A = this chain, B = another copy of it.
C-alpha cells in the first residue's frame, strides 16, 4: 500500500520531500516509499536515524533540521515519518518547528504507532528529565497505515502495540475490551481481519476523543491510562530498556489497582485486565527501581511528579471504573505508595 503511487494522491505539490526513518525500518521500506513519491516531488531525500527511544532527542531533531537546511528545503517541503512512535513524534515535531511549520504525513510501521501515536497530532522529543517534555500539538496531513509493514515487526513490538489497543477498552469501550479478549490470539499471530478491525476501532476511538479536546485541557488525558506509571518505569530504567507499550501495559495494571483501592473498580475487573495484559505478552509486575521499598516508592513518585498531568506538585491519575468510564483525579501519595509496593517484582 505505501509503495503504490495512488496512495499519495491528493497531497499538495512541493519541490522537495524528506522521508525520516530509522536504521531498522529504512532498509525495509524507504526505497519503496521513495519510489512511490518520486513522481510527485522533484527530489525525495531520505534520512535514517538510529533506532530506539534513546534517540528521541535534541540531537536527532537537529539532524532533521540539518538535512532540511543543507538541501535548502523551503516551507512547502513535505516530511514523511516512516517508522514507529519515535520517528513519528520526532518527525512531527521537526515539521512543527521547521520554518515555523511545514506539512507532514505519518506512515506508521509499528502496531503501536498505527493504533495510537500517529493519530491526534501529539509530537515531541524527550528531555533527560522527562519523556515528551518538549513538543507541539501539530496535525499530520494524512496517516497511512499499511498493515503489511507489521509482518516484519518482532513479536515483542506487536505485544507493545497491543497495550495501546487494550487501553481503549477500560477507558470507554468495554465491548471492544471483550472483542480484544476473544481475538487476542488472532491479533498476536497477525490475522489480517482481526488486525484491520483493531487498528480501525482504535483510530476511531482516538479520533473521537481528540476531536473533542485536541489540546488536552480535559478529556484527552484519559488516553494516558497507565501512562503515568508507565513513564516512571521508562524513565527509571532508562529510555529504551522497556518498550513504551510494555511500560504502559504494566502501568495499566498499577492504575487498575489504584482504581480498586479507591473503590472504583472490582477485584475481578482488575484481575481480568491483568490477565489480558499478561496474555498479550506484556509484563504485569513493575520493575524495582531501588532495593529499599520506601526508597523505591519515593523514586517512582519523584519520576511521576514531572508527568505533564501534574499540577502544583499534585499527582493526577487516569482511573477507571466497572462501567468503563474514566476518572481523572488527584490521589494521595500514601495510596500510590501502597500500590507500587504491592505491584513491584
A-to-B contact residues, CB < 8 Å? 15, 42, 58, 62, 65-66, 69-70, 72, 74-76, 96-101, 122, 124, 127, 129-130, 133-137, 215-216, 305-306, 308, 310-313
Chain B residues positioned under 8 Å from A96 (CB to CB) = 136
Task: Tell me whether A100 and B58 are in contact in the complex, defined as CB-CB below 8 angstroms, given that A69-B127, A308-B75, A310-B74 are known contacts.
Answer: no
Q: How far is the CB of A287 from chain B (nearest CB, A)?
A: 23
Copies per complex? 2
Check if B134 sits within 8 Å of A65, measured CB to CB: yes
Chain B residues positioned under 8 Å from A62 (CB to CB) = 58
Check if A101 sits within 8 Å of B308, measured CB to CB: no
Check if A136 sits within 8 Å of B306, measured CB to CB: no
Task: Tell me whether A133 and B74 are in contact in the complex, defined as CB-CB below 8 angstroms, given that A15-B312, A306-B69 are known contacts.
Answer: no
Check if A74 sits within 8 Å of B15, measured CB to CB: no
Would you list 9 pairs from A and B whose C-beta atoms are within 8 A, ordered by A residue? A15-B311, A15-B313, A42-B312, A72-B306, A72-B310, A72-B313, A74-B308, A75-B311, A100-B215
Chain B residues positioned under 8 Å from A215 (CB to CB) = 100-101
Q: Which residue of B lies closest to A215 (CB)?
A: B101
How far, in angstroms, from A42 to B235 measured CA to CA in the complex? 28
